[in-house]
Amino acid sequence: MRVVHVASEVFPFSRSGGLGDVLGALPPVQARQGAEAVVLSPWYADLAGAPEEVWRGVVPGVGPVRVGRLTQDGVQFLFLDLEEFGRPGLYHDDDVWRFSQFGRAALPVLQALDLMPDVLHGHDWQAGLVVAHARLLGVRSVFTVHNLQYQGRWNLPEAAAWLGLPGGMLGVEGVEYHGDVNLMKAGLVFADHVTTVSPQYAQEITTAQYGEGLDGVMVRLTVEGRLSGILNGLDQDRWDPRTDPDIPTYADLKGKAAATAALRAELGLDGAPVLGTVSRLAGQKGMDLLLEALPDLTQDWNVVVLGGGDPLLTAAFRGWAQHPRVTFAEGLQEGLAHRIYAGAQAFAMPSRFEPCGLSQMIAMRYGTLPVVRETGGLVDTVPHDVGFRFSDATPEGLTGAAAQALAALNDPAGWAARVERAMNLEFSWAGPAAQYLDLYRRVAGPAA
């Protein structure tokens, strides 16, 4: 079976967060499980890698197109070069236009390369239009929602001309949403099956609280049997404390203590326990709750934060970095992220919603116990006998769970047992990849 994944980013070539991690990890595992796995993504101006050009031509309605290819881990990674992606950076204010062009060009390019899929797997709103065009061509598709909050909306009168879709697909049963084009909705309504990246999130987005205005669509998909949740895996080779080149490697609690000591020395921390986080600075991630909780948390914890995003949150953490027990580092610093996962004793994820989350899985693999809000993938991955969960998205909820963690830390034997359970949890991609392959077979039908 040939599956073509379509996504806006793929590690290690382009990445802003968890979506890129998934596209870098899932297809190679599917290739090892017997599928022909192909990934199609934009050829960004600052792509990390030098694809070999394999095709160029003109796509009607789009213009000149060039395609490059890199082969790695048994996967063909294809990169689509359009004029719109010639700027530095992954995402810009005109992304609905840019990914409309990408969406119109994707299938003609695959046809030209003789790589039409048995199943097309689109990821998030940037691939929604590709899924709509797959429906027009009779290509079966799966669409995965990684984060429903981001939907790719633009006013319908202007955007309708960009999409290359017939009028019947532009209405309320198609891409229209309150007078706008909504490319997330396009993926949802035109895919043969929709998945989310955790079972809990699949349930949550059928409600008004988490449905981001599309809960009605999600309820209909559920009734039709076209919505399910498949938990993301973790690239356990990349995230392995026994072999990680960015940390003092370890396989047990004694080795982890050395990693904690190294982080203390690097950051100049005092002897208080270390509560870390590596996160986008965004309201979704509950980073404002962490800010409000800092006066209480710093009574007992060193708090180490690595991330970037919202300018107001960034400025606030910058200000707090003057506090002797708060360390703040900005941006994507891969090596420091690994050292925080390894050296912290607890890891804060006070998310308002969390489609899946990888950080809590990484933290547990490194023996760092999560302090998490009970939502989405955090419910599916953090057992009660490992981490510390709280229900209310409030600073008090976070500080209460952190207090439970502190009490547990003061029981060395109990803490060691939690750490051992955490490090032995299984989060590999083998299971999720097999679930996706089973789903593709059902979607493709007997002929595939």
Alpha-carbon gap, residue 442 to 432, rounded angstroms: 15
Calculate the CA 256 to chain-centre distance.
27
Residue 14 has what DSSP assignment? B
**The residue count for the chain:** 448
Q: Is 15 a known ligand-binding residue?
A: yes
DSSP assignment of 371-426 equals EEES-HHHHHH--TTTSEEE-S-SHHHHHHHHHHHHHHHTSHHHHHHHHHHHHT--
Give yes or no for a contact between 188 and 214, defined as CB atoms under 8 angstroms apart: yes
* Cβ–Cβ under 8 Å, residues 443 and 142: yes
The enclosing H or E element of 193 equals strand 193-196
Give the angle 443-446-448 at the CA atoms, nearest 5°: 75
Q: What span, in angstroms and rounded, lies between the C-alpha atoms of 92 and 264?
A: 38
Query: 102, 124, 185: which is closest to 356 by C-alpha?
Result: 124
> Other C-beta atoms within 10 Å of 124: how many?
25
Which residues contact residue 191 at a Cβ distance below 8 angstroms, ignoring those fewer than 6 apart?
122, 131, 135, 141, 142, 143, 226
What is residue 154's three-state secondary structure? strand
Rounded to whole angstroms, how far apart are CA atoms 397 and 350? 9
Exposure letters 384-413 (e unless 16+ CB within 10 A, then b):
eebbbbbeebbbebbbbbbeebbebbeeee
Helix (H) / strand (E) element for 71: namely: strand 63-72
CA distances from 245 to 90, 100, 202, 249, 337 (A): 28, 40, 36, 7, 12
**Whole-angstrom distance, CA of residue 131 vs CA of residue 137:** 10
Binding site for ADP-alpha-D-glucose: residue ranges?
15
Binding site: residue ranges?
15
